[in-house]
Structure 1
Amino acid sequence: MTPDRLELAHRRTGAVGLGGAQPAPFADAADVVGWFGGLQSQDYHVAKWALALRLGPGVTDADLDRAFDDGVILRTHVLRPTWHFVAPGDLRWLLELTAPRIHALNTYAYRLGELDGPLLRRTTDLIADAVADGNHLTRTEIAALLARHGITAAGFRLGYILIHAELERMICSGPLRGKQHTYALLEERVPRAASLERDAALAELVRRFFTSHGPATTKDLAWWSSLTRADIATGLSLAGDALESTDVDGSTFWSAPGNARTPAPSPSVRLLQAYDEYIVGYTQSRYLLDLGDLAPVASGKAALPNGGIVVDTQVAGRWKRTVRAGTVVLDAVLCRPFDAAETAALHAAADELGMFLGVRAVVSASVL
């Protein structure tokens, strides 16, 4: 574990909002999402925990549901062909920048689903008309709507019909209806905001990624954003003094100047969901998570099936939560034995999860 690599990891935990001491650096959910530009929310329920970790104790699962219902944060397909939480003020310019690239990445899926241009334009218009005037519809209701117009839409095919409508800036997430998600007309859900010229948008997205994820590499950004290498090079040149670079292991790492926050007391244990930006925001330099080679995170030999247990900056195990009868059971599988201080920090992290969910936390730990 070289000092240079460990220093990068410490700086990175600060940038992603996990390494700083209290008080929490973010005011609310929109502040967290805006810091990143987009926060992956493939699984809505556990993605809320990624927000809560950055907001600090006192934020509950119900609080974040209310923020989502109120449109404080939105959930849609942007950056990559997957869901992200996005702040309303960022959604339009991000989609203008990234949608053409994501459409290109989706070409094979559109073809596989027999979704040509005229059909996709028709389905997008039908869906937009149907959800207008606050008539928020679930996925099942949209499928039934399309069926009434003679369009088969189920499973994979329905998914890409909806993704297309999102990328075309026609629909986005609406409020929850019980446990079901709904779609809303983007024009009604997202306040009008000034558009960004393409170069300005490139500079902003590049700056925001390296500020919130740095130190990181351009290959990391290419994965995270779907931007081409040429676009990233343009964004870096336009970002100017807002970013700085350092070379480690033969790779150039970019970050905002002085991006490190005051380290949290050690040992600090974090229960990260598998799509947390600290885990999923990188490809080339994900190895910084596991400098001790305790878990095969970087090599791809095994994924973290539910979530990662991080001690200070390093993966030290995996975890799964099960909620039942007023209790959340945290099954923790450790890559190595924890000492007394680390064990106490693990229990404190579990208690924080319990407070977020409004239940008592129980820890069941084992060692690989």
Structure 2
Amino acid sequence: MSLPSIDTAERRARINARLLTRRKAPLAVADDLVALHATDAATVYLSLAARLTAPTVAAVERALYDEVALVRLLAMRRTLFVVPVDLAPVVDTAAARAIAAKEREKLLDFLREGGGWDAAWLEAAERETLEALHRIGPASGQELGAAVPALQERVTVAAGKPYEAVQTVASRVLRVLAAENRIRRDRPRGSWTSSAYRWTESTPWPELPIAPARAELVRRWLASYGPGTEADLKWWTGWPLGAVRKALAEVGAERVALPDAPAADGDGFVLPGDTAPVRASAPRAALLPALDPTAMGWRERAWYTDPGHADQLFDRTGNIGPTVWWAGRVVGGWAQATDGSVVWRLLEDVGAEAASAVEAEAAHLTAFLGDARVTPRFRTPLERELSS
């Protein structure tokens, strides 16, 4: 019996319908996307703004810092993500806890080698940090360093080498506390584009049974990004292949053929019963930021990003820059010019309707950015060229 088949046109239609849909609230967008890349602070705002019916910085800030409906976790692939708060315990158990444990091991090695400090010293430093946060409220790393002398201790890194450097232990201690959700990132000291976060008190997420947690994360991913291959899920989650296969079996994922994909990619997987074509929706133009979760949703990208454009849209390590989308595929790139306007370039002819829609999106994005200036942390050739 042959497998159900989902071709490239249908996969792009699913992106258009499921991952580029406009919503009224940031939380609804985050639910669609499962997890938003947050390595670059601006990416979170721009990913949400591209999909909100009436995007404002204030609405995103409310969700992050007032309602705490969206929370940051160091999770899949040791990357910082923003996820819906109801999904946070799942992501924590399925991916973040193991990463936090490794981060603590690395920190202890760093402290032993650089300063001769042990786990007892670290425990005392962490206790003093948590007590200071409780006493003074949300504080920057600098303010915590002033309140907790242990955080000001300095360590020489790569001693005797050309790139020798001296570092304080503060950033590493705070990173591990945050990875364990004993503290969390609060409003930055600067604008919404800044990563200079204040820190505030938090409580570790409840630990769930790991197999159901992994299955739930895969279920959410398939609902938004399916079909995907085992290789896609292995890359996205950062798990061993065996864990991916167990989670797929747990959710009863249905195997489908991907007739336009190279045979080496293997079959795809969807949720049970999700093999029928999605309801037709009007083609959508979108200007998505660098490291947007849709652009970074799969390991294999040739079906939605022309490999011939890779040298313009990706940096040398595979990070994707700002992209222009039409009808579920990447058709160009964009950047912010020095005067604040959004400039863009199509890398293929997609017709007058698409160009007009992209122009309108660029105008909306320019208005959203206002006086803010955004430069991606990982810059790509096309973004550099357009921004200059």
TM-score, normalising length: structure 1:
0.79
Deviation at residue 35 of structure 1 after TM alignment:
3.9
2:321 aligned with 1:311: no
Q: Is the 8 A contact 2:139 2:200 kept in 1?
A: yes
Instruction: Give 2:282's aligned residue.
Output: 265
Deviation at residue 320 of structure 1 after TM alignment:
0.8
Deviation at residue 88 of structure 1 after TM alignment:
2.2
Q: Is the 8 A contact 1:221 1:282 kept in 2?
A: yes
Deviation at residue 160 of structure 1 after TM alignment:
3.4
Instruction: Give 1:244's aligned residue.
Output: 254
Letter aligned with residue 69 of structure 2: V
Residues 1:124 and 1:88: Cα distance change in structure 2 (over 3 Å): farther
2:244 pairs, out of 232, 241, 250, with: 232
Q: Is the 8 A contact 1:120 1:164 kept in 2?
A: no
Letter aligned with residue 10 of structure 2: E
Q: Is the 8 A contact 2:17 2:281 kept in 1?
A: no
Q: Is the 8 A contact 2:304 2:328 kept in 1?
A: yes
Letter aligned with residue 202 of structure 2: L
Q: Is the 8 A contact 1:295 1:335 kept in 2?
A: no
Q: Is the 8 A contact 2:38 2:81 kept in 1?
A: yes
2:10 aligned with 1:10: no
Residues 1:47 and 1:263: Cα distance change in structure 2 (over 3 Å): farther
Per-residue CA deviations over 1:242-276 (Å, capped at 9, x if unaligned) read x322122331212234386544424x321111111
Tell me the distance in 1 between the aligned counterparts of 2:175 and 2:62. 24
Residues 1:338 and 1:4: Cα distance change in structure 2 (over 3 Å): closer
Instruction: Give 2:377's aligned residue.
Output: none
2:290 pairs, out of 252, 255, 274, with: 274
Within 5 Å, which residues of 2 pair with 1:162-311?
Answer: 162-179=174-191, 180-187=196-203, 195-240=207-252, 243-248=253-258, 249-250=262-263, 251-256=266-271, 257-258=273-274, 261-266=278-283, 268-283=284-299, 285-291=300-306, 293-296=308-311, 306-311=321-326
Q: Is the 8 A contact 1:35 1:212 kept in 2?
A: yes
Tell me the distance in 1 between the aligned counterparts of 2:179 and 2:227. 29
Q: Which moved more, 1:296-305 or 1:222-231?
A: 296-305
Instruction: Give 1:131's aligned residue.
Output: 133
Based on CA coordinates, which of the two structures has the bigger radius of gyration? Answer: 2
Q: Is the 8 A contact 2:72 2:185 kept in 1?
A: yes
Tell me the distance in 1 between the aligned counterparts of 2:167 and 2:84. 28
2:83 aligned with 1:66: no
Deviation at residue 181 of structure 1 after TM alignment:
2.0
Alpha-carbon RMSD = 3.6
The alignment partner of 2:181 has SS state of coil
Residues 1:296 and 1:313: Cα distance change in structure 2 (over 3 Å): farther
Tell me the distance in 2 between the aligned counterparts of 1:220 and 1:133. 45
The alignment partner of 1:184 has SS state of strand
2:94 aligned with 1:82: no
Residues 1:88 and 1:130: Cα distance change in structure 2 (over 3 Å): farther
Tell me the distance in 1 between the aligned counterparts of 2:34 and 2:135. 28
Q: Is the 8 A contact 2:73 2:92 kept in 1?
A: no
Q: Is the 8 A contact 2:236 2:297 kept in 1?
A: yes
TM-score, normalising length: structure 2:
0.75
Tell me the distance in 1 between the aligned counterparts of 2:141 and 2:280. 43
Instruction: Give 2:378's aligned residue.
Output: none
Structure 2 portions without partners, runs of 5+: 113-117, 156-165, 372-382
Letter aligned with residue 247 of structure 1: A
Instruction: Give 2:144's aligned residue.
Output: 142
Residues 1:155 and 1:319: Cα distance change in structure 2 (over 3 Å): farther
Residues 1:75 and 1:149: Cα distance change in structure 2 (over 3 Å): closer
Tell me the distance in 1 between the aligned counterparts of 2:280 and 2:121. 53
2:336 aligned with 1:321: yes
Letter aligned with residue 336 of structure 1: E
Q: Is the 8 A contact 1:286 1:298 kept in 2?
A: no
2:51 aligned with 1:39: no
Instruction: Give 2:376's aligned residue.
Output: none
Tell me the distance in 1 between the aligned counterparts of 2:64 and 2:97. 27
Tell me the distance in 1 between the aligned counterparts of 2:356 and 2:176. 47
Residues 1:201 and 1:134: Cα distance change in structure 2 (over 3 Å): farther
Deviation at residue 168 of structure 1 after TM alignment:
1.9
Letter aligned with residue 265 of structure 1: A
Q: Which moved more, 1:60-69 or 1:198-207?
A: 60-69
Deviation at residue 183 of structure 1 after TM alignment:
1.4
Tell me the distance in 2 between the aligned counterparts of 1:340 and 1:218. 38
- Count the aligned residue pairs: 344
